[in-house]
A and B are shown apart, each in its own frame.
Chain A
Amino acid sequence: MDIKLPEIGEGVTEGELVKWLVKPGDTVKVDQPIAEVMTDKATVEIPSPQNGKVVALKAEEGKNIQVGGVLLTLEASGAGAAPEKPAPAPQTAKPAPAPQAAKPASQAPAPQAYAGASGTNGQTRPQTEAARFAGASAGDVYPPAASSKVLATPSTRRLAREMNVDINNLKGSGLAGRVTREDVMGAGGGSAASAGGGMDYVPRQAPVMGYTGPTGAVEERVPMRGIRKKVAEKMQLSKQIIPHFTLMDEAEVTELVKVRTSVKEKMAAQGIKVTYLPFVMKALIATAREFPMVNASIDDAAQEIVYKQYFNIGFAADTPQGLVVPVIKNADRKSIAQISREIVELSEKARAGKLAPDDLKGATMTITNIGSVGGTYATPIINHPEVMIFGMYKISERPVFKNGELVAANVMNVTCTADHRLIDGAVAARFLTAVIARLENPGMLMMDLT
């Protein structure tokens, strides 16, 4: 039987197969991880839905797989677990394509996900009868059936379906507006090669340099995959869309250092590691209430500004695989202690590559804490579709003039990088100044606590 990629997170339609954890001939047990699949920025282990022997791997490492796409074929062992408990499988193995039919992509694989599904797995959720029917009603097949107006041969229509291209949206280049095979291939992009039927599409490749050093090859080619690929895509997208600018300043945080030092050990006794990050989060949130444009996003498609009434703060975390940005949800409603605990938990999960897709979603603002590694200032890249990323850097003891006297003080460099489409320079400057005011006076920070 075919084992398919189950639903691995809300709205997740595909994942990249990072690594196989089994090989043909292996015997697997129910819930034994069979593959590592990367979605968004989290790596998920896909459990086997049943006992059996791996017959063949149907996907390649480094390639994307649609939810519902076949991962491998399994020969069920013995009478198998599936026939014993088939009841819940058919209903629950199908992802819940929420009633809003406006996300064709997320619904596309649903029928397949369902089709041959033969066992339960931990990721699936029971659905209500109504939700299930919404999924099965006439609108849910993606791509939708070709309308009678579309001019395309039956084989071209079939090609479009197999390439997941909605032929209704294509402008035919042929006679009388006929949609040709080439039109479909063009719309389907590089995946055309898998569609079969001749005419494989091969994207142009960079020329391979023939240079060889005195000791042999001096280059190593490694495929872009996993988190590296996701980071690359995300950063490029953000830089392409957003006109960035960065404002730099410093905050004299002597008082904040005192506060933190005073609680550090007591909290450590309770198993809570208190860093400066939650304080900065609190300062950021309190200030953002006065500057709603920093806790917002731009809906590029709708050309609308989305002001957010909730505060989910992402924080950049360095992991062996690369950058990830876990999110503290509703940070405005959590205590500093609570946030501290969550930061530690999420960081550990991030380093172990065990973050759930949900841990990485829904940030409204992001903080980068690169200062803990090094550098005085940076110009970070905004986490699109957010419009602001706040940078905090190393706290160091520096000479500062106070009332005409030179004193030693703790100083932290801070930056505010903003989307100039929404946030003007003066606004960013006023915002940064207001954040600094709170960081410099923890008493003010306490006034804002809810």
Chain B
Amino acid sequence: MSYDVCVIGAGPGGYVAAIRAGQLGLKTVIIEREYLGGVCLNVGCIPSKAMITAAHFVHRAQHDAPEMGVNIGKIDIDMKKMVDWKQSVCDRMAGGVEQLLKGNKVTIVRGEANFVSKEEIKVTGKEGTQSIRAKNFVIATGSRPIQIPGFEFDEKLIMSSTGALAMDKLPKKVVVIGGGYIGLEIGGYLAHLGTQVTVIEATGELLSGIVDKDAVQVIARKLKKAGVEVFTEAKAKGCKKTKNGVEVAVDIKGKEQVIEADRVLVTVGRKPNSDQLNLKAIGLKISDRGFIEVNSQRRTNIPNIYAIGDIAGQPMLAHKASHEGVLVAEVIGGKNRAYDVKTVPAVIFTDPEIASVGMTEAEARASGHADLKVGKFPFAANGRAVSVMATEGFVKIIADGKTNVVLGVTIVGPEASNMISEAALAIEMGARLEDIALTIHPHPTLGETMMEAAEAALGHAIHIIQRPLGERKESGLRANA
């Protein structure tokens, strides 16, 4: 069969590209070897959020409910049922993707794709092998968890995120190798459910290099409270299977130590699947780090082949992939499009959540903004946060000192993931601190903290004590909280 567009991979990049191509009237086919919706919908974002929600529910019932006067008594966790429920969430979402694809006249082909030439792939599925030709290809085959020597995944004792999300029995003790966002999300919810969690992080701090340091402190504190043991500057050396589980040898700041556990979760990052699909044989250019090289239209060195999502470069985030999916479909449809967003928001579902957009303080300084205004507003001073018993964290807003144009926002706290979109819009629109401060935010909501943080950066937040306006000098117009 011959198509205008062939999308390989039905994750959040690929299925979105296929739907938009279908909307544009292009004859489109999508190839998927595993599940529609990809990692995100099946073994990533969505199932982990389902498990986190359930665990958070448990945690609040145990800790917050009694304080509110709600005595629930002993909580019984049916792990099998929880995992089944999680699966039903995934199935529902994947089913939705299938309907949307069909509704837009996209042909779905299941199987493993391999390029034969620049215009043809062979797809091997259950019903055998078929050849598919297309004028344009979109590679959206994503990434997979990185495996480290001595910790080969069996998804039973040594697990990637996929195995961890599928556990239908709660382990007593888990060692998490890698204190990045996936490790902390899964380790965090396991701890809430009652597992004893130990996190081994190779660098000096958790969420190293991706999150504002002040925010990391909030998370580290909360993990400690939840009984999670964290070792930084620690390296996992190897592991031995024992009768009861595994023994993990760890080098902690130069000292060897052995940690026993039922299971080991390895979350040291993800790598692009560029070693598949026979990409090198057709001459596709791939960087040293394994990403397919693309231009700002996500076109590869072979002009009729595009690449989007995790396989096309950092950040490996579903929403970036979806944005690129729309973009390439429109480029193929003859429209002039390029990837020119100012920022990609990032959200981490730890407890509390972290969300960020734009630049951190350090990045802003590095990019030449010598004079910055920084405003920070704590959730503890927000009525809604207090009434939902979630007062840890803050909103931090960074703006250019001269123009007051918002450069970056970090939120750590309740519903941070839902609140960050306002900040993303502000940055894309080139908003100034005043634009946020002068927008009436409804009371009583968590969103008020954004307005207050903007006010704080301007030097006059209402609900925290800052020096009186009259006493300020120009340089003092900064609330360095």
B-binding residues in A (CB < 8 A): 2, 4, 70, 83, 86-87, 89-91, 94, 108, 111-112, 114-118, 129, 132-133, 135-141, 143-146, 148, 151-154, 157, 161-162, 164, 175-178
Among B299-341, those with CB < 8 Å from A are 299-304, 331-341
CB contact between A176 and one of B303, B332, B404 (< 8 Å): that residue: B404
Kindly specify which of B163-171, B424-432, B464-472 makes contact with the partner chain.
B424-432
Q: Is there contact, CB below 8 Å, between B334 and A90?
A: no
Shortest Cβ distance from A80 into B: residue:
B2
Point out the residues of chain A lying under 8 angstroms from B404, CB to CB.
Answer: 176
Q: Is there contact, CB below 8 Å, between A114 and B303?
A: yes
User: How many of chain B's residues have a CB under 8 angstroms from any CB in A?
Assistant: 40
Q: Is there contact, CB below 8 Å, between B135 and A112?
A: no
Point out the residues of chain A lying under 8 angstroms from B339, CB to CB.
Answer: 145
Q: Is there contact, CB below 8 Å, between B295 and A137?
A: yes
CB distance from B394 to the nearest CB of A (A): 25
Q: Is there contact, CB below 8 Å, between A151 and B338?
A: no
Is B367 in the interface zone, CB < 8 Å from A?
yes
Point out the residues of chain A lying under 8 angstroms from B333, CB to CB.
Answer: 115-116
Point out the residues of chain A lying under 8 angstroms from B257, CB to CB.
Answer: none
Complex CA distance for A189 and B272, rounded to whole angstroms: 44
CB contact between A90 and one of B295, B296, B303 (< 8 Å): that residue: B303
Is B119 in the interface zone, CB < 8 Å from A?
yes
Q: Is there contact, CB below 8 Å, between B432 and A136?
A: no
Interface-central residue, B4, B133, B304, B332, by most chain A CB under 10 Å: B304
Is B453 in the interface zone, CB < 8 Å from A?
no
B interface secondary structure, majority: loop
Point out the residues of chain A lying under 8 angstroms from B332, CB to CB.
Answer: 115-116
Interface-central residue, B136, B338, B432, by most chain A CB under 10 Å: B338
CB distance from A166 to the nearest CB of B (A): 11
Point out the residues of chain B lying under 8 angstroms from A129, CB to CB.
Answer: 283
Q: Is there contact, CB below 8 Å, between A136 and B302?
A: yes
Query: Could you list some 11 contacts between A and B, CB below 8 A?
Result: A83-B133, A89-B135, A90-B119, A91-B118, A91-B303, A94-B303, A112-B335, A114-B304, A115-B333, A115-B334, A139-B295
CB distance from B286 to the nearest CB of A (A): 13
A sample of 9 more A-B contacts (CB under 8 A), given A2-B334, A114-B303, A161-B338, is: A90-B136, A111-B336, A116-B333, A118-B135, A132-B302, A141-B296, A153-B429, A176-B403, A176-B404
Shortest Cβ distance from A110 into B: residue:
B303
Q: Is there contact, CB below 8 Å, between B337 and A161?
A: yes
Leading 9 A-B pairs by shortest Cβ distance:
A151-B430, A145-B340, A90-B304, A176-B403, A133-B301, A138-B295, A83-B2, A146-B340, A145-B296
Complex CA distance for A437 and B295, rounded to whole angstroms: 61
Interface-central residue, A108, A114, A153, by most chain B CB under 10 Å: A114
Complex CA distance for A137 and B405, rounded to whole angstroms: 32
Shortest Cβ distance from B339 into A: residue:
A145
Is B274 in the interface zone, CB < 8 Å from A?
no
Point out the residues of chain A lying under 8 angstroms from B403, CB to CB.
Answer: 176-177
Is B221 in the interface zone, CB < 8 Å from A?
no
Among B92-117, those with CB < 8 Å from A are 117
Among B27-70, those with CB < 8 Å from A are none
Is B297 in the interface zone, CB < 8 Å from A?
yes
Shortest Cβ distance from A66 into B: residue:
B336
CB distance from A371 to the nearest CB of B (A): 50
CB distance from A109 to the nearest CB of B (A): 9
Point out the residues of chain B lying under 8 angstroms from A161, CB to CB.
Answer: 336-338, 340
Complex CA distance for A382 and B142, rounded to whole angstroms: 60
Is B285 in the interface zone, CB < 8 Å from A?
yes
Point out the residues of chain B lying under 8 angstroms from A2, CB to CB.
Answer: 334
Complex CA distance for A151 and B367, rounded to whole angstroms: 15
Complex CA distance for A192 and B119, rounded to whole angstroms: 37
Complex CA distance for A162 and B331, rounded to whole angstroms: 12
Point out the residues of chain B lying under 8 angstroms from A164, CB to CB.
Answer: 336
Shortest Cβ distance from A154 into B: residue:
B428
Question: Known: A87-B119, A115-B332. Contact between A157 and B340, CB under 8 A?
Answer: yes
CB contact between A145 and one of B299, B331, B338 (< 8 Å): that residue: B338
Complex CA distance for A114 and B4, rounded to whole angstroms: 13
Complex CA distance for A143 and B294, rounded to whole angstroms: 17
Complex CA distance for A148 and B357, rounded to whole angstroms: 13
CB distance from A380 to the nearest CB of B (A): 41
Q: Is there contact, CB below 8 Å, between B304 and A153?
A: no
Complex CA distance for A384 and B297, rounded to whole angstroms: 37
Point out the residues of chain B lying under 8 angstroms from A177, CB to CB.
Answer: 403
Q: Is there contact, CB below 8 Å, between B133 and A141?
A: no
CB distance from B463 to the nearest CB of A (A): 27
CB distance from A418 to the nearest CB of B (A): 43
Complex CA distance for A141 and B298, rounded to whole angstroms: 10
Is B172 in the interface zone, CB < 8 Å from A?
no
Point out the residues of chain A lying under 8 angstroms from B337, CB to CB.
Answer: 161
Point out the residues of chain A lying under 8 angstroms from B135, CB to CB.
Answer: 86, 89-90, 116-118
Point out the residues of chain A lying under 8 angstroms from B80, CB to CB.
Answer: none
Q: Is there contact, CB below 8 Å, between B336 and A176?
A: no
Is B342 in the interface zone, CB < 8 Å from A?
yes
Complex CA distance for A133 and B285, rounded to whole angstroms: 9
Shortest Cβ distance from A84 into B: residue:
B2
Point out the residues of chain B lying under 8 angstroms from A135, CB to CB.
Answer: 303
Complex CA distance for A129 and B284, rounded to whole angstroms: 11
Point out the residues of chain A lying under 8 angstroms from B4, CB to CB.
Answer: 116
Question: Known: A86-B135, A91-B303, A151-B405. Contact between A176 and B334, CB under 8 A?
Answer: no
Point out the residues of chain A lying under 8 angstroms from B340, CB to CB.
Answer: 145-146, 157, 161
CB distance from B133 to the nearest CB of A (A): 7
Shortest Cβ distance from B359 into A: residue:
A148
Complex CA distance for A3 and B334, rounded to whole angstroms: 11
Complex CA distance for A84 and B331, rounded to whole angstroms: 24
Q: Is there contact, CB below 8 Å, between B303 and A153?
A: no
Complex CA distance for A145 and B117, rounded to whole angstroms: 31
Point out the residues of chain B lying under 8 angstroms from A112, CB to CB.
Answer: 334-336
Interface-central residue, A2, A140, A164, by most chain B CB under 10 Å: A140
Complex CA distance for A143 and B297, rounded to whole angstroms: 11
CB contact between B297 and one of A108, A141, A146, A152 (< 8 Å): that residue: A141
CB distance from B70 to the nearest CB of A (A): 45
Shortest Cβ distance from B332 into A: residue:
A115
Question: Known: A86-B133, A90-B118. Contact between A136 and B334, CB under 8 A?
Answer: no
Q: Is there contact, CB below 8 Å, between B432 and A153?
A: no
Shortest Cβ distance from A133 into B: residue:
B301
CB distance from B134 to the nearest CB of A (A): 9
Question: Known: A112-B334, A116-B332, A116-B334. Contact between A152 and B295, CB under 8 A?
Answer: no
Point out the residues of chain B lying under 8 angstroms from A140, CB to CB.
Answer: 295
Among B155-202, those with CB < 8 Å from A are none
Question: Known: A86-B133, A136-B295, A162-B336. Contact between A148 and B342, CB under 8 A?
Answer: yes
Complex CA distance for A133 and B300, rounded to whole angstroms: 8
Among B246-299, those with CB < 8 Å from A are 283, 285, 294-297, 299
CB distance from B302 to the nearest CB of A (A): 7
CB contact between B2 and one of A86, A94, A141 (< 8 Å): that residue: A86
Complex CA distance for A90 and B297, rounded to whole angstroms: 16
Point out the residues of chain A lying under 8 angstroms from B2, CB to CB.
Answer: 83, 86
Complex CA distance for A116 and B333, rounded to whole angstroms: 7
CB distance from A75 to the nearest CB of B (A): 12
Complex CA distance for A138 and B294, rounded to whole angstroms: 7
CB distance from A397 to the nearest CB of B (A): 64
Shortest Cβ distance from B343 into A: residue:
A148
Shortest Cβ distance from A151 into B: residue:
B430
Q: Is there contact, CB below 8 Å, between A70 and B336?
A: no
Q: Is there contact, CB below 8 Å, between B301 and A176?
A: no
CB contact between B430 and one of A115, A133, A153 (< 8 Å): that residue: A153
Point out the residues of chain B lying under 8 angstroms from A152, CB to CB.
Answer: 430
Point out the residues of chain A lying under 8 angstroms from B338, CB to CB.
Answer: 141, 143-145, 161
Complex CA distance for A94 and B331, rounded to whole angstroms: 14
Q: Is there contact, CB below 8 Å, between B296 and A144?
A: yes
Q: Is there contact, CB below 8 Å, between B430 and A148?
A: no
Point out the residues of chain A lying under 8 angstroms from B342, CB to CB.
Answer: 146, 148
